[in-house]
Structure 1
């Protein structure tokens, strides 16, 4: 079976949950015997080779904030005619605006669209972009032969808004072992003595809220936070103005460290050795960075949104989204715990997610969905709708 992946920026992932999702899912599908073709954007992947077993094709497009995804998806759909795919798997509601084109260009293929998050709620988008992303949600739910949602909360949204019942297949997690602390030393950090936030630097992830909360806590409890810097790991996505604002906030707030985009052993070490992680976005699909933090056995503080609490249940502190003082209080409470108490909190979370979020099992479920679609008559392969 040949599966063509479109809509993501590329693999291997440098940043971004969708890219990590596509990389891990594709690699697991290859291990199951599928042929996976990934249409990558040259500006994103550069000279880094494709992960073993995944066939890379390069798409072409206009690399700007508003046109990058849609133009690259368009050329990917045209170029993929040569691959004769059995399944086209489209990721994200923006690229899914071209779902009708995918059906026209590939009449014998099955189209699967994954609803990763409600992008139109993100602060970086203007009015017109939000209208188009809303339309992309409709296409995701109505033009795909099958829609996948990565969380129960997103599935409920699809049902309520578009009368579409998606298959719920969550994000997974796979974390490398951490064999040394050399990377930490290079950043001047000590194990279990810093607060980490691994995220893209875009407004709805609320990095500015984290810095504001850390500043407030520094003013109120300097004795508590003086040995716990706030370490922010990640880069932007067509958000240079916001990145500059964060840089100014960090420079004005002692103890805040912006480490930029990190990969491989450096990223793994930063994730595995944090005192606690922050996952405080205003909106999410299902955060892979959150899953990774938990899989390393680290405690987390999350914003009180369904997509986060679906992962953590009652085992992590919840804070009001966009509320500086709510977050400051949660960080203060976390730092007042002993190392043993924090480790126990992290271990309970880890036990909760290990089975449900295994990429090999997720790939088996996804491949079964593909095969079911290929066995259905074409006219029957449509989204399941509520009565």
Structure 2
């Protein structure tokens, strides 16, 4: 019997039921990699991984390693410790997620590890980071892209960025969705005092680039009779932005903050919403928008490149930060009856282009290609050349 590929993932908090785009990406993709013939071990952070999940979930193994609960330090410290662990365990491939953890790519290469890095977006553009943190993230992008054996971008926009800044190419493998089964259950939306098809939905972390204030202001201006606005999510590190969103929501009639939701509760919130809105100023390739479309939800999104890349005629776009335009679109969507077949059309659109199973196959091809071809990347550093000959 052929030995399965030993794959180790690093650079995320943990899963399942952990908030975040990279975490959702891993939660959906890793089980498919396991079914395709990989022994997948995910190195997770002790402060996020739920103890009741156990050491294995859907044929994916977890190795929990300590990390400080600090917005600025947890990722880099945990990735350093994870590379040390990988250097001992010697997986066939170490797969690092995101450009912050990418800072440790040269160290992993010095230990003789084959490394794949997935670029989930230019995190240095996020509003939450200060000047020093942004410089560290830029360095992480440089190290991750320049020193990885293989590079993956989750969107063509990110691939173009890497080409322009680093003169290197990436394989484009997007985020995806699992096609949900429809549910008639309304237990959770009853708990939040919601009526089916009569609420606007946003699912996201509470971070500045999601622009919750714009949506709350636009919703108030639209004055949709009988509608509510539902903000699903929370913050990993509550700060002044989180406090301002909660305060604004409390002061605005018919705005409900549910906190972080998973499982059937989240399924119901998607299934029975009337409109989904994503007003972000920064995204890699938005899983939440793809998930909303998988439920057939009418969607409104900011006109940033990552949202535009989905290229679906059933999404209404507005200039990022333009509250008046967003308010007008909310009025139009709320007043219009959804045309026959639109929900099925949206579901078919994402099924054809963004299935996690297909994304798993393409990722698996990256792994097997790397193992079959002894490192097409030719390092400029003498020590790395020596290690490659070992």
- What TM-score range do you get, normalising by the shorter chain? over 0.9
CA distance in 2, matches of 1:29, 1:184: 34
CA distance in 2, matches of 1:237, 1:71: 17
* Residue of structure 1 aligned with 2:197, choices 171, 174, 192: 192
CA distance in 1, matches of 2:249, 2:174: 34
Residue of structure 1 in register with 2:269 after alignment: 270
CA contact (8 A) 2:87 2:108 kept: no
CA contact (8 A) 1:226 1:255 kept: no
Deviation at 1:309, TM superposition (A): 1.2
Deviation at 1:241, TM superposition (A): 1.6
Cα-to-partner distance string for 1:80-104 (whole Å, 9 max, x where unaligned)? 2343200100001101011111111
CA contact (8 A) 1:250 1:257 kept: yes
Deviation at 1:140, TM superposition (A): 2.1
Alignment of 1:287-366 (within 5 A): 287-338=286-337, 340-341=338-339, 344-366=341-363
Query: What TM-score do the two structures reach when normalised by structure 2?
Result: 0.92
Residue of structure 2 in register with 1:369 after alignment: 366
Deviation at 1:33, TM superposition (A): 1.7
Pair 1:145 & 2:149 matched: yes
Alignment of 1:150-299 (within 5 A): 150-179=154-183, 180-218=185-223, 225-299=224-298
* Residue of structure 2 aligned with 1:47, choices 48, 51, 54: 51
CA contact (8 A) 1:144 1:382 kept: no
3-state SS in 2 of match to 1:125: coil
CA contact (8 A) 1:311 1:353 kept: no
Q: Where does structure 2 lack aligned partners over 5 or more consecutive residues?
A: 380-390
3-state SS in 1 of match to 2:41: strand
Q: Which runs of 4+ in 1 moved over 6 A?
A: none
CA distance in 2, matches of 1:148, 1:350: 26
CA distance in 2, matches of 1:137, 1:80: 21
CA distance in 1, matches of 2:321, 2:121: 18
Pair 1:95 & 2:92 matched: no
CA distance in 1, matches of 2:76, 2:115: 17
Query: What TM-score do the two structures reach when normalised by structure 1?
Result: 0.93
CA distance in 1, matches of 2:359, 2:26: 12
Considering only aligned residues, what root-mean-square deviation do their CA atoms show, in Å?
1.5
Pair 1:38 & 2:42 matched: yes
